[in-house]
Chain A
């Protein structure tokens, strides 16, 4: 079982859209996929029409009082299950802190699912916290959406440093340009220059497309409702690169 986390310290960069579409693409290729919506905003749960509610809340889940298995919901798509968000996830750091090995608790919770799933996709909330440490311990790959702006690049640097200095498992990083608008000079400039200075930036990029924004109306991955659209093709390219990265 491989674990990919759609992660960024910043919010509003396209993490959920990435998690949802990558999870769907993997499932459509026959991989058994679990998407864990760790964000209390519950956008991924909303997109799959799953009620953002976990019995006992995040506390029971983290404490192991409620098996992860019991909270999993099937989505409407073959091979793709969802562990929904819950509003109490906003206190996940507190709950994790109460555990004996707080930094590796997430990984422990995923261990029993190894036989059931080929891929776990984590849709992470924007932060750098105890939950982030847990994500680093659990993940094989961090998929980092990057809006081509100077501040975003600075955030990527911060994240890279954080991972490099991390004592435990060091997941690979695959950053990719998200919400790319080639009409903007700065976007074009960063897209042209950044890959020359870093080797962890994907060649695939996700443009700023209204079709992706419309996912919240259609409540389904764009890769499922419009599999031949430009957006879907971009996500497919990204999935191909992500897969190569985790099996390399």
Chain B
């Protein structure tokens, strides 16, 4: 396969669009036409949270001359895998956004699966390119390199709203790639040198993808579900909290369209996490922010959290179902299918209600009033307390509550005690994340890591507990509407048993996990943050 030696851009072509082919002023070399120009449509795809970009991968859909192909490349531009996705055998062309299971099975999908996970692939930016192939020839008129001239016009991204998108077009840019023929690298390199010295030609500093992103005014990796604010210890705590709450609502809004369009389950997940963090911050903020505001919005965000719960609960089940099916011993995966279909129907109903709630006047009003009130707090914040001592106090208090609550749990304690401890852990975790920019990153990472291990254990315990209860409710409902054969109920029973085993395992592990967290070393990790 031929590989690109060097790439250039023609810097003056915007002024002279007709005269956009490179020239070389040297008698040893010449440029000759090769093939007719052709037009291709380029669409770059990634997940909403830029998983491919973060993994150093670029996925492009190339369409032209009746063929459509997905091309996956690595950081060095080398092709990792390709897959033809033209409609064959009457199959429908892929519609974007698309989940991975809608792509043809093959090496490309296999390579994408661990990176993309449950997320859908959606267009990040689009461009139309006119490709003209020229030949650089030597004095014998032997081709020594192909000059691939690409005039790319970035078209606007459309579809779901994305962070950092500004809808305006960009000037087309001409790129020239020098691709040496085998055995002619040295001569091709001379041609590249000559091109570089030509007025109006500059080395390309961006890949076509980067150029397209810049043309669409998009910043790769702009979206992250993490709390992404920069606080200082000396700023008023009210201002810090307003900033954090504003950022969390950015996340809610960024995921709103994807949730309503039901693109993938992670939109709703990220939205719910932002809502939970908001509620946690509001709980913490009652001594800093006006009580009326805190009271009003705690109720509103509680409502928002609640309306998202049924859909998410079904999502969790449906996402787990394939792995649950593989763990069945007595029953078969096929016997579980009616349960999956039942969940799909219930989920569809829950989702319709969720979409109505997210489009409701109540949500619209919450959104506009919340922004307005946050702006007002940020413009005239209470001068005291300052962020650093406030954060330290809140974290120390949350830490103390976790230690006390955890220490009180015995082997005979009811599940409720572990559930309560999980809530306290979440509050501590959110505080650590919200005030992360005040802490040393290494210390922060160590503290969160140990807490996370405890949370995972508690999460497994509580999630399996809830799932067992829900499974019983599902079985009862399916019996009532006669949608479950006996074999399905037996398979569900097996799943309940498997969940109970997982729950028992998590319960057995709890003491060790908590002991590690509550050890002098573990305590010192959190204390180090509150002292800083």
Shortest Cβ distance from residue B33 to the other chain A in the assembled complex, whole angstroms: 13
B142 touches A76 (CB 8 A): yes
Compute how far the CA of A73 lies from the CA of B183 in the bound complex, rounded to whole angstroms: 5
For residue B42, CB closer than 8 A to chain A, the reply is no
The residue that B135 contacts in the complex, of A48, A73, A76, A81, with Cβ under 8 A, is A76
Q: How far is the CB of B337 from chain A (nearest CB, A)?
A: 45
Alpha-carbon separation in the docked complex, A74 to B183 (Å) = 7
State in angstroms the CA–CA spacing of A72 and B143 once bound together.
Answer: 14
| Residues in chain B near residue A76, CB distance under 8 A | 135, 142-143
A51 CB contact (under 8 Å) in B140, B141, B143, B182: B140
Distance (whole angstroms) from the CB of B189 to the closest CB of chain A: 15
Q: For the complex, give the distance between the alpha carbons of A48 and B140 in Å.
A: 10
Q: Which of A48, A72, A219 contacts B182 (CB 8 A)?
A: A72
* Chain A residue at minimal CB-CB distance from B180: A74
Q: B118-150 CB contact bits vs A (8 Å, 1 = yes)?
A: 000000000000000001000011110000000
| Residue contact A49 to B140, C-beta cutoff 8 Å | yes
State whether A74 and B184 are in contact (beta carbons under 8 Å apart), knowing that A49-B141, A51-B140 are contacts in the complex.
yes
In the bound complex, residues from chain B placing their C-beta under 8 Å from that of A48 are 142
Say which size band chain A's interface belongs to: 10 to 19
Instruction: Tell yes or no: A9 within 8 A of B by CB.
Output: no
Judged by a CB distance under 8 angstroms, whether A50 is at the interface is yes
Instruction: Judge whether B141 and A73 touch: CB under 8 Å.
Output: no
Task: Look across to chain B and name the residue whose beta carbon is closest to the beta carbon of A84.
Answer: B183
Per-residue CB contact flags for chain A residues 68-90 toward chain B (1 = under 8 Å, else 0) read 00011110100001000000000
B181 within 8 A of A: yes
Give the number of residue pairs across the A-B interface with Cβ within 8 Å.
23
What is the size, in residues, of chain B's interface with A at 8 Å between Cβ atoms?
Answer: 9
How many Å lie between the Cα of A50 and that of B143 in the bound state? 9
Task: List, in ascending order, chain A residues with CB within 8 A of B182's CB.
Answer: 72-74, 81
Is the CB–CB distance between B181 and A74 below 8 Å? Answer: yes
How far apart sit A237 and B318, CA to CA, in the bound complex (Å)? 61
Asked if residues B184 and A73 are in contact (CB atoms below 8 Å), the reply is: yes
A72 CB contacts on chain B under 8 angstroms: 182-183
- By a CB distance below 8 angstroms, the chain B residues around A71 are 183
B residues within 8 A CB of A51? 140
**Chain B: minimal CB distance from A230 (Å):** 26
Q: How far is the CB of B22 from chain A (nearest CB, A)?
A: 19
Q: Give chain B nearest CB distance to A28 CB in angstroms.
A: 15
Which residues of A39-83 have CB atoms within 8 Å of chain B's CB atoms?
A: 48-51, 71-74, 76, 81
Report the minimal beta-carbon distance from A234 to chain B, rounded to whole angstroms. Answer: 27
Of the listed residues A49, A81, A219, the one surrounded by the most CB atoms of chain B closer than 10 A to its CB is A49
Q: Measured between C-beta atoms, what is the minimum distance from B29 to chain A in Å?
A: 14
Tell me which residues across on chain A come within 8 A of B184, comparing CB atoms: 73-74
| Chain A residues closer than 8 Å to B135, beta-carbon distance | 76
Complex contacts, B143 vs chain A, CB 8 Å: 74, 76
Contacts of B141 in A (CB 8 A): 49, 219
Q: Within A118-144, which residues are at the interface with B (CB < 8 Å)?
A: none
Contact A73 B140 (CB under 8 A): no
Shortest B178–chain A CB gap in Å is 14
Complex interface bits, B161-201 against A, C-beta within 8 A gives 1, otherwise 0: 00000000000000000000111100000000000000000
Chain A residues with Cβ below 8 Å from B140 are 49, 51
Instruction: Report the minimal beta-carbon distance from B289 to chain A, rounded to whole angstroms.
Output: 69
A168 CA / B143 CA spacing, docked (Å)? 40
A193 smallest CB distance to B (angstroms):
44
State the CA gap A73–B184 with chains docked (Å).
Answer: 7
- C-alpha gap A176/B528 in the complex (Å): 90
A51 to B143, CA, bound (A): 12
List 18 additional contacts besides A74-B143, A76-B143; criterion CB under 8 Å.
A48-B142, A49-B140, A49-B141, A49-B142, A50-B142, A51-B140, A71-B183, A72-B182, A72-B183, A73-B181, A73-B182, A73-B183, A73-B184, A74-B181, A74-B182, A74-B183, A74-B184, A219-B141
Which 10 interchain pairs have the tightest Cβ spacing?
A73-B183, A49-B142, A74-B181, A74-B182, A76-B143, A49-B140, A72-B183, A72-B182, A74-B183, A49-B141
**Listed A/B pairs (17) with beta-carbon separation below 8 Å:** A48-B142, A49-B140, A49-B141, A49-B142, A50-B142, A51-B140, A71-B183, A72-B182, A72-B183, A73-B181, A73-B182, A73-B183, A73-B184, A74-B182, A74-B183, A76-B135, A81-B182
